[in-house]
Structure 1
Amino acid sequence: MSADTERGQQQRTIRCLIAKVGLDGHDRGAHVIARAFRDAGFEVIYSGLHRAPEEIVQAAVQEDVDVLGISILSGAHNTLVPKIIDGLKEYDAFEDTLILVGGIVPDEDRPELKEMGVSEVFGPGTPMQETIEFVRENAPQRD
């Protein structure tokens, strides 16, 4: 097998957008996960604070991300996450994006988020390696 063929068979780097949506100004967890993802070999884009759902959708589409990690501690997950998912669907980017939510999400709200398309919800104290393995196992395979 030639070197070019071997390179062609290597997996491409998983691209992740870590997004802070709404008025939530607590971003320590987002920075921690962004660094852990980067250290795991993922390509990481950080949205910055106070992003509207539409801004997050635009960034995810323009950056062609495999994974969208939404960090939210404000309690507005039932309002803001559906807007992001609807926006991804409008751009036909929903099916090709692994959507994760991290932060403070009550157990009773998790099933509804998963029904609308969130793959997993990670709360405070989740081991970084667990999140990294989840992404490696579930990120969409693209060319």
Structure 2
Amino acid sequence: MTDVPDAADEEQRPEHLFKPGQSGNPKGRPKGSRNKLGEAFIQALYADFEEHGAETIAAVRVEKPDQYLKVVASILPREVKVTTEVDLSDEELDQRIRQLAAALDLAIGGKGGAGEAVGGKAEAPRPQPAGPVPPVH
């Protein structure tokens, strides 16, 4: 079967239907017509928020925390892309980590910090188990 209509298809097509490639509205929609409803809705919503916004948010947070969290999640960006233009050496990075740790009042052991060189190679610190490790079967 092919997608190209044959003469029989053209004869069976009612007169009131559009022919392939023909638009039902060749001039398009009037400029701004689609946005009128959206603009009116946003204006009404803004006016209502100005009057009741903070109290409503507080009431929803207390009475319907699940809905409150849905709203918060819906306005957050789905993806956060972090880029930096700074290219730091290992020593500069270690110094920054120590400065941040000091600001957060954290203790970092060893002279090399988290990426302390062992035998000339930088290694990530190994996590320590929180309790006894269960046997593997």
Q: Which TM-score bucket, shorter chain as reference?
A: under 0.3
TM-score by length of 2: 0.23
User: Whose strand fraction is larger, Structure 1's or Structure 2's?
Assistant: 1
TM-score by length of 1: 0.23
Q: Which has the higher contact order (CA 8 A, sep 6+)?
A: 1
Q: Which has the larger radius of gyration?
A: 2
